[in-house]
Structure 1
Amino acid sequence: MTRGFLIGLAWRSAWNRRFTLALTVCSIALSTFMLLGVERVRTDLRGSFSSAVSGTDLIVGPRTGSIQLLLYAVFRVGAATNNIRWSSIEALQQLRGVAWVVPLSLGDSHRGFPVLGTTTAYFDHFRHGEQQPLRLRDGTRFQDLYDAVIGAEVADQLGYRVGQRITLAHGTGEINLSDHADKPFTVVGVLARTGTPVDRTVHISLEAMEALHVDWMAGMPLPGMHVSAEEARRMNLQPRSVTAALVGLQNRAAVFSVQRQVNNFGGEPLMSILPGVALDELWDVVGAGERALMLMSGLVALVSMAGLMSVVLAGLNERRRELAVLRAVGASLRHVLLLLTLEGLLMTLVGTGLGIAALSACVLALGPWLQADFGLTLQLSQPTLMQGWLLAGLLLAGWVASLLPGWRAYRLSLADGLSPRV
């Protein structure tokens, strides 16, 4: 028997059982979709995590741990051990090689959402994802002292619109020490969803942050002193200190030189970190979820191949006559094994192809929705090394899963009264 004859025979046999095999192919396609889908989500989830801030060359803050600085400066988690004097921010702007500096001031909140004091340069220079700038979904940037620009999640969860009046509170998270009820803000803009901590942030100007605390000292309101909102407008609201700063360079090749200058800064103890390096360190700490997704991928593949083997084994009784005839005309064990493994490999090829096509269609159709509602950026891209190994493993497993049914078919043909060819 020639190989071409066996391929033709396998095709005609498969067509004769097309309904059953169609279900098997759909099962393999679904398993491929789930396996590669989980891997794609895992890969893009790490990419989204790593791109919470992009386009920023250095993050500068008081001396602390690199992960702690990253957590409160980018993810608004935790609190700084100290602040940076405003004179240090001005000195940073004068360092050779520095293109821009965006100061960040934290410490207040609104109904559990963090409040960030910054400048309008934040909207010009902050990038996320693949160097994507911040966009306004509605309204404008803050212009008046008591204007606020809120993230998409703040707006959606609290039902806020442009023109909404809000009150900020001193303290972070759900624990607020005191409301700044005497100085209400007006929402003038809502940012488009980014899938980053920006979505959960209320943005105000640095001068507004100062106005909130002109009658405060050491985190407490001064007894017997009260400055109204209008009186605060007439005061000097030059910031005295900020929490951290984002720094962009004229040439990224100078990043280590500038980092060294910051770390050796003589005015006060400062440290600077590279966001990408710190994000990788943080991911190593919280990477248990990634390992869980990889385990899930392996289990999906195992269930898929077990299903393929079960379907082929279940269909053997329907093919006993066909296999007996093949043995009668001289088909050897090798021919029977080759026939069934070829069928299994063909089914796996077709199923994986359909699964890849279905995954690509879903990424194209659902990608914008997932970005808008869940902040997860899924992209069509070249297969990663892991995805290539998974596809190769699927094809190999499909071939191996057909070996047991092939051996079982040979044993059944002997049980039907045929003798092996000598």
Structure 2
Amino acid sequence: MKALIGLAARSAWNRRFTLMLTVCSIALATVLLLGIERVRTDLRANFSSAVSGTDLIVGARSGSTQLLLYSVFRIGAATNNMGWQSVQALAGHRAVAWVVPLSLGDSHRGFPVLGTTPDYFQHFRYGDRQPLRLAEGQPFAQVFEAVLGADVAQQLGYRLGQRLTLAHGSGELVAEHADKPFVVTGILARTGTPVDRTVHISLQSMEALHIDWLGGMQVPGMALSPEKLRQMDLQPRAVTAALVGLKSRPAVFSVQRWVADYRGEPLMAILPGVALDELWDVVGVGERALLVMSALVGIVSLAGLVSVVLTSLNERRRELAVLRAVGAGLRHIVALLALEGALVTLLGAVLGLVLVLGLTAALGPWLQAHHGLVIGWGLPSPVQWALWSAVIATGWLASLLPGLRAYRLSLADGLSPRI
């Protein structure tokens, strides 16, 4: 067997330029298979870790996925708000332990702004029920103070004590609240969730920003100074949604029904875990399509391996016949071609694995900084190892076809001169 391996390696080296293209195609197929599986796994983990420890999310009636997207992932916008009286009624329910209201809609240089209460830093959990932690400073305590997510502070270069102004709305067409600057009082530690890309302010600050605005524009002649606003009653009139924690988990369905039957305004309450599964079902369509495409690339690459070896058989008839003439049996010829194909497949799979590890290590920080997606750069998971092994096994099985073809060639066919 050792002699066959050496012979197969030397034979492959003689045709290295042709086989190198096959190695590259197999490496590309491996990169796609393992890369997509890693992104799929880490993306699911990112989605699942965005919020934990929250029993219900309450907001205006819409769709459960839509409510989850704008309240947790800061994607999209609410169709309607929920009144402050509804928040107070919800907080007064006997089964509710805490309520954290959320107010969205403004932005700062492309990052969403979240208005909330100090309870947000106490009750919000992510990952495996991990609490938020301040890397620097302290939570906001007064109007016009802001706490920045890690990505906001890093990308914009903000430090404690710096001033910033927020914009009304999001996207390209925004109007600046230039007359109401904020002071950075805290910077949160990195979480790998949408929190990192959020500017946090108090509900009173959010109300102060819009108290002299109407229809998306500041009312002429009614501009109020920050000093005067600090002396006013800035209780919010409405919020976008609310995170709810219960005293007992079994009460989740009764509170959900209470919210659905609430007569003050049409509201809905969703379970974050159930909504995440629904969201993943939608995203999973594209995920499965990418997996199919990568599998097709793998099949084409292995078909290329078979075609290269089959094509080379016509050029190697005499070589194989000479090997048989000096004592190599048919099983040795089949083993030789199978080993050659296995070596090519193994080299391509190893190259693809190295590329995947290198790309995840190189692109991981960039993806986290620009898109908030945390991609692990460690060793592959058991599923990824299984896919990698499947590539090698499939390549070895595919290389048996040329061996069976060579088995059918007669000794005289290889030694007879062809005219």
Percent identity (aligned): 61
SS in 1 for 2:409: helix
Match of 1:82 in 2: 80
Match of 1:151 in 2: 149
- 1:233 to partner: Cα distance: 1.4
- 1:11 to partner: Cα distance: 2.2
Q: Distance in 2 between matches of 1:96 and 1:381?
A: 47
Does structure 2 conserve the Cα–Cα contact (< 8 Å) formed by 1:101 and 1:245? yes
Match of 1:49 in 2: 47
Does structure 1 conserve the Cα–Cα contact (< 8 Å) formed by 2:23 and 2:348? yes
SS in 2 for 1:411: coil
- 1:175 to partner: Cα distance: 2.5
Match of 2:390 in 1: 392
- The one-letter code sitting in structure 2 at the alignment partner of 1:236 is D
- The one-letter code sitting in structure 2 at the alignment partner of 1:14 is A
Q: Distance in 2 between matches of 1:113 and 1:8?
A: 61
Give me the CA root mean square deviation. 3.7
Match of 2:244 in 1: 247
**Equivalent of residue 7 in structure 2, options 13, 16, 22:** 13
- 1:412 to partner: Cα distance: 7.7
Match of 2:253 in 1: 256
1:228 to 2:260 alignment: no
Q: Distance in 2 between matches of 1:17 and 1:334?
A: 17
Does structure 2 conserve the Cα–Cα contact (< 8 Å) formed by 1:86 and 1:241? yes
1:269 to 2:263 alignment: no
Match of 1:101 in 2: 99
SS in 1 for 2:104: strand
- 1:351 to partner: Cα distance: 5.4
Q: Distance in 2 between matches of 1:36 and 1:21?
A: 28
Match of 2:172 in 1: 174
- 1:204 to partner: Cα distance: 0.5
Q: Distance in 1 between matches of 2:15 and 2:40?
A: 31
Please say which of residues 15-24 and 89-98 is displaced more in the overlay: 15-24
Q: Distance in 2 between matches of 1:198 and 1:228?
A: 30
Structure 1: stretches of 5+ with no match in the other structure: 1-6
- 1:243 to partner: Cα distance: 1.1
- Residue-by-residue CA offset, 1:293-319 (whole Å, 9 max, x unaligned): 224412431343245335545765786
- 1:229 to partner: Cα distance: 1.0
Q: Distance in 2 between matches of 1:221 and 1:30?
A: 55
Match of 1:120 in 2: 118
- 1:61 to partner: Cα distance: 0.3
- 1:358 to partner: Cα distance: 6.5
Please say which of residues 318-327 and 358-367 is displaced more in the overlay: 358-367
SS in 2 for 1:36: helix
Does structure 2 conserve the Cα–Cα contact (< 8 Å) formed by 1:337 and 1:403? no
1:308 to 2:302 alignment: no
Q: Distance in 1 between matches of 2:362 and 2:130?
A: 21
Q: Distance in 1 between matches of 2:231 and 2:222?
A: 16
- The one-letter code sitting in structure 1 at the alignment partner of 2:231 is R
Q: Cα gap change, 1:97/1:362 in structure 2, threshold over 3 Å: closer, same or farther?
A: farther
Aligned residue pairs total: 410
Does structure 2 conserve the Cα–Cα contact (< 8 Å) formed by 1:56 and 1:248? yes
Please say which of residues 165-174 and 319-328 is displaced more in the overlay: 319-328
Q: Cα gap change, 1:166/1:51 in structure 2, threshold over 3 Å: closer, same or farther?
A: same
Match of 2:334 in 1: 337
- Residue-by-residue CA offset, 1:228-271 (whole Å, 9 max, x unaligned): 21122122222232110112334444432332222223443210
- 1:105 to partner: Cα distance: 0.8
Does structure 1 conserve the Cα–Cα contact (< 8 Å) formed by 2:337 and 2:399? no
Does structure 2 conserve the Cα–Cα contact (< 8 Å) formed by 1:306 and 1:401? no
SS in 2 for 1:61: strand
- 1:96 to partner: Cα distance: 4.0
Match of 1:205 in 2: 202
Does structure 1 conserve the Cα–Cα contact (< 8 Å) formed by 2:103 and 2:203? yes
Q: Distance in 1 between matches of 2:355 and 2:76?
A: 42
Q: Cα gap change, 1:250/1:196 in structure 2, threshold over 3 Å: closer, same or farther?
A: same
Please say which of residues 95-104 and 59-68 is displaced more in the overlay: 95-104
Please say which of residues 182-191 and 157-166 is displaced more in the overlay: 157-166
SS in 2 for 1:124: helix
- 1:117 to partner: Cα distance: 0.4
Q: Distance in 2 between matches of 1:29 and 1:130?
A: 36
- Residue-by-residue CA offset, 1:334-365 (whole Å, 9 max, x unaligned): 55334422443465457546755774676578
Q: Cα gap change, 1:160/1:13 in structure 2, threshold over 3 Å: closer, same or farther?
A: same
SS in 2 for 1:106: coil
Q: Cα gap change, 1:360/1:179 in structure 2, threshold over 3 Å: closer, same or farther?
A: closer
Q: Cα gap change, 1:356/1:221 in structure 2, threshold over 3 Å: closer, same or farther?
A: closer
Match of 1:383 in 2: 382
Q: Distance in 1 between matches of 2:380 and 2:33?
A: 16
Does structure 2 conserve the Cα–Cα contact (< 8 Å) formed by 1:139 and 1:188? yes
Q: Distance in 2 between matches of 1:109 and 1:250?
A: 34
Does structure 1 conserve the Cα–Cα contact (< 8 Å) formed by 2:146 and 2:185? yes
- The one-letter code sitting in structure 1 at the alignment partner of 2:277 is D
- The one-letter code sitting in structure 1 at the alignment partner of 2:121 is F
Q: Cα gap change, 1:374/1:71 in structure 2, threshold over 3 Å: closer, same or farther?
A: closer
- The one-letter code sitting in structure 1 at the alignment partner of 2:208 is A
Does structure 2 conserve the Cα–Cα contact (< 8 Å) formed by 1:153 and 1:193? yes
**Equivalent of residue 321 in structure 2, options 324, 348, 353:** 324
Structure 2: stretches of 5+ with no match in the other structure: none
- Residue-by-residue CA offset, 1:111-136 (whole Å, 9 max, x unaligned): 44322101122223333445444444
Q: Distance in 2 between matches of 1:351 and 1:224?
A: 71
Q: Cα gap change, 1:243/1:370 in structure 2, threshold over 3 Å: closer, same or farther?
A: closer
- 1:149 to partner: Cα distance: 1.9
- 1:407 to partner: Cα distance: 1.1
- Residue-by-residue CA offset, 1:86-142 (whole Å, 9 max, x unaligned): 232233233344333211012323344322101122223333445444444544322
Structure 1 length normalisation: TM-score?
0.80
